[in-house]
Amino acid sequence: MESKVRGIRGAIQVSEDSVESVLNATRRLLETMLELNEVATDDAISAIFTTTPDLRSCFPAEAARSLGFSDTPLICAQEIDVPGSLPRVVRVLLWVYSGKGKSAIKHVYLDGAEVLRKDIAQ
């Protein structure tokens, strides 16, 4: 089957704004995204990480580097501060090469972030 570029979305709510909490949660999110979509770090093209304004302890991309995304372009940004939005959330948009069709991609929402996209959360 021919590989195509696919986007995988993910989000996780972090228990607190600490380096350990943000990095552990981001690693778990990425590992789940890769596993459920049957892709390896080598299949990754690039990733954008965003955090809500209340997460400032570290860059979530550090977690990706620790998982082997060493040659993958990564960038971090801050989500817009919408009143009433879910706090302490790391979001990821990961572009990968995959043999799966768009409808077969599994988007991952964990630890309370499922409320962000009930329509596609795994």
pLDDT digits (tens, 9 = 90+) for 40-54: 999 999 999 999 999
The percentage of residues in the chain with a pLDDT greater than 90, rounded to a whole number, is: 88
CATH fold of the domain at 4-116: 60s Ribosomal Protein L30; Chain: A; (3.30.1330)
Domain locations in the chain?
4-116
> Rounded to whole angstroms, how far apart are CA atoms 107 and 122?
6
Give the mean model confidence (pLDDT) for residues 99-116: 91
Model pLDDT, residue 114:
83
pTM: 0.92
pLDDT digits (tens, 9 = 90+) for 57-93: 999 999 999 999 999 999 999 999 999 999 999 999 9
Q: Is 85 helix (H, G, I), strand (E, B) or coil?
A: coil
Nearest Cα residue to 49 out of 21, 26, 68: 26
Q: What are the DSSP calls for 7-75, one per residue?
A: EEEEEEE-SSSSHHHHHHHHHHHHHHHHHHTT--GGGEEEEEEEE-TT--SS-THHHHHHTT-TTS-EE
DSSP category for residue 108: E
pLDDT digits (tens, 9 = 90+) for 4-17: 999 999 999 999 99
Q: Which residues are catalytic?
A: 9, 65, 76, 79, 91, 109, 117
Percentages helix, strand, coil for the chain (3-state, rounded to 5) are 30, 30, 40
Residue 119 has pLDDT above 90, yes or no: no
Residue 70, amino acid = S
